[in-house]
Amino acid sequence: MFSSTVYSKRRQLLKEKFDSGLLLFMGNTETPMNYPHNWYQFRQDGSFLYFWSIDQADLAAVIDVDSDEEIVFGDERTVDAIIWMGQQATIAEKAAAAGVRKTKPFGELAATLRNAQKQNRTIHFLPQYRADNRAWLAHCLGTSYEKLNDGVSEQLVLAVASQRMFKSDEELAEIEKALDVAYEMHTAVMQEMAPGKKEYQLKGLVEGIVASHNAKIAFPVILSKNGQILHNTTHLNTLQNGDLVVHDSGAVVASGYCSDISRTLPVSGKFDSRQRDIYSIVLNAQQRAFEASKPGVRFQSVHLLACREIVSGLQDLGLVNGSLDDAMETGVFGFFMQCGLGHQMGLDVHDLEGLGENLIGYDATTKRSNVFGLSALRFGRELKTGHVMTVEPGIYFIPDLFDLWKKEQRLNDFINYDAVEKWLDFGGVRIEDNVVITEDGNRILGKHIPRSIDEVEATMAG
């Protein structure tokens, strides 16, 4: 948590963008897993953390632009709750630490909102992605669950994004703390990887390291020899020599900031020649993307540059036919890299995506493509100093996609299906790091995590 003035200034800056109305922030609630008092791990909303800092369930907060009031709504713990959960700092104390002087019971929020409605005042709110908040707010505002998000305030979304999108030095320091944890998670897996291990043993290692730092996983750990499944979250395979494992994981530190790193590892500890070929192409693509990522360049163009490197490398391996320019024009890259080159990262591992991918990731000058693969890019707009991005090119051989495209004879002149068929047991390669865009380029955040073939092999041997 930063000093109270950081939060006060953030709210002040936000307020100055509005002439009137209420700015409503819903915090997240505890969510039951299987019965009411057995909850999923709590995760506070990113915008709530950014403006109000309190990492506690069942809160909401309002800025009344007209009366210049800031209020946190929440119920202090009763003795009953203290018996079961213990005491902690009160909401009033936590609010004061974020520079907020006024708190009210949660039950008063509904009346506050309804009064504002009666007075025809605008209630600005962000997209509600949690079912309980969405249902509660819909009920409170007299609309339906389905229609609630039609009333989202684009003005508030853009105002919030315009602040959260640019990371300050103190935020970068928190991200680098999350990257310190990721460094340990990734180097430990390199050192412990061995034939005969189950994927879940390595996943457990990762989760244990995260917990030992008072951190949480930023998203379910991806660690699998089925690296072609982009977000694979089953971990049942026994690893064998010859397998290649994609390990994609990150941590959230106590302040809420995240890391998100991917490495691809040969179970034997040595990349074989096929693995080297594909890994080298992806590594080059990442290097090209690093070189190109700077203020004024669209991330969509960086994505295409990385894809060009990938297609060129695959041409050398005989998997893609035709001229490089023609192949790029057809969008053949999507057959091998079906996802985006990266996304923003910060308090959310896909930062700000809950506010609306297209509204945040695209703008009047950068439209989302509908070309397969490029269409999955979540953030395409021009990079600016202070943006934090993941850069995560990959090559994935997906048998089901192969079957479909081959049957439909899609891009027959460019995809050498006979050659690709021999790679369908390969899996995938992803290499991912986190960068901050600086005035003249970018800086890779965190300690250097072994990335080159020699570095990975040396770490695995060590």
The binding site for ligand GLY (CB under 6 A) comprises 219, 248, 260
Count Cα neighbours of 365 within 13 Å in the Cβ-side half-sphere: 8
Report the alpha-carbon distance of residue 272 to residue 281 in Å, rounded: 14
Residues in contact with 205: Cβ distance below 8 Å, sequence separation at least 6, in sequence order: 188, 189, 192
- Distance between start and end Cα atoms, the chain: 37
Report the alpha-carbon distance of residue 149 to residue 143 in Å, rounded: 10
CB of 393 to ligand GLY, least distance (A): 13
Q: Which residue's CB is nearer to ligand GLY, number 64 or number 260?
A: 260
Report the alpha-carbon distance of residue 392 to residue 14 in Å, rounded: 32
Q: Which residue's CB is nearer to ligand GLY, number 248 or number 433?
A: 248
How many CB atoms are located within 10 Å of the residue 326 CB?
12
Exposure b/e, 166-175, CB count within 10 A at least 16 = b: bbeeebbebb
CB of 70 to ligand GLY, least distance (A): 33
CB of 217 to ligand GLY, least distance (A): 11
Residues in contact with 374: Cβ distance below 8 Å, sequence separation at least 6, in sequence order: 300, 303, 304, 307, 331, 333, 334, 340
Q: Which residue's CB is nearer to ligand GLY, number 171 or number 433?
A: 433
Q: Which residue's CB is nearer to ligand GLY, number 71 or number 341?
A: 341
Q: Which residue's CB is nearer to ligand GLY, number 63 or number 345?
A: 345
Q: Which residue's CB is nearer to ligand GLY, number 10 or number 368?
A: 368
CB of 222 to ligand GLY, least distance (A): 6
C-alpha to C-alpha distances, 30 to 39, 254, 258, 392, nearest whole angstrom: 6, 17, 21, 32
Q: Which residue's CB is nearer to ligand GLY, number 260 or number 433?
A: 260
Report the alpha-carbon distance of residue 156 to residue 229 in Å, rounded: 36
CB of 248 to ligand GLY, least distance (A): 5
Element (H, E) at 241: none
Residue 285 sits at the vertex; the CA angle it makes with 282 and 288, to the nearest 5 degrees, is 155
Q: Which residue's CB is nearer to ligand GLY, number 101 or number 231?
A: 231
CB of 392 to ligand GLY, least distance (A): 7
Residues in contact with 367: Cβ distance below 8 Å, sequence separation at least 6, in sequence order: 380
CB of 260 to ligand GLY, least distance (A): 5
CB of 378 to ligand GLY, least distance (A): 9
